[in-house]
């Protein structure tokens, strides 16, 4: 964990956050940030549109569904930083790949992902 400058949870859309009442990846991220004394970035990586639930889609649909779903509000926060993305479930990798893409485009020098579970 010492090789990461910052921990970033995958954000939910506003609609899904209202529906669920919490963001499970943010809860995971908070615990890791505290345990490993790393700052957490909340609200800078944002989901700019509501997407269908990835788990309900076929492999190719997941990549199309998540494309363009994330935005960086303040690119300077990630400039030349090593980022650890936190997600709860890894199936095709579409969600973390799209988040990593926008983080790298904003200037992050290194991005990796940590997930709670992997499934098909």
Pairing of strands 82-90, 110-118: parallel
Q: Tell me the mean pLDDT in the region 48-58.
A: 82
Dig out the tokens for 42 from the structure. Answer: 């909340």
Q: Which residues contact 80 (CB under 8 A, 6 or more apart)?
A: 107, 108, 109
Domain spans of the chain, in order of start: 6-118
Is residue 91 within 8 A of residue 62, CB to CB? The reply is: yes
* Structure confidence at residue 119 as a pLDDT band (50, 70, 90): confident
Q: CATH top-level class for 6-118?
A: alpha beta
Max Cα-Cα span within the chain:
38
pLDDT of residue 15 exceeding 80, the answer is yes
pLDDT of residue 1 exceeding 80, the answer is no
% pLDDT > 70, the chain? 98
Would you state the pLDDT for residue 23?
Answer: 95
* Structure confidence at residue 65 as a pLDDT band (50, 70, 90): confident
Q: Tell me the mean pLDDT in the region 41-53.
A: 91
Query: Per residue, what are the HEC states of the chain?
Result: CCCCCEEEECCCCHHHHHHHCCCHHHHHHHHHHHHHCCCECCCCEEECCCCCCHHHCCHHHHHHHHCCCEEECCHHHHCCCEEEEEEEEECCCHHHHHHHHHHHHCCCCEEEEEEEEECC
């Amino acid at each position: 964990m010492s090789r990461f400058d910052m921990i970033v949870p995958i954000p939910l859309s506003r609609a899904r956050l209202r529906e669920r009442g919490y963001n499970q990846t943010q809860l995971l991220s908070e615990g890791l940030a505290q345990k490993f004394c790393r700052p957490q970035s909340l609200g800078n990586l944002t989901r700019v549109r509501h997407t269908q639930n990835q788990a309900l889609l076929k492999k190719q649909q997941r990549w199309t569904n998540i494309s363009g779903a994330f935005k960086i509000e303040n690119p300077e926060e990630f400039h030349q930083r090593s980022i650890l993305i936190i997600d709860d479930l890894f199936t095709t990798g579409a969600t973390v790949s799209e988040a990593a893409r926008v983080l790298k485009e904003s200037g992050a020098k290194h991005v990796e992902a940590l997930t709670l579970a992997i499934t098909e």
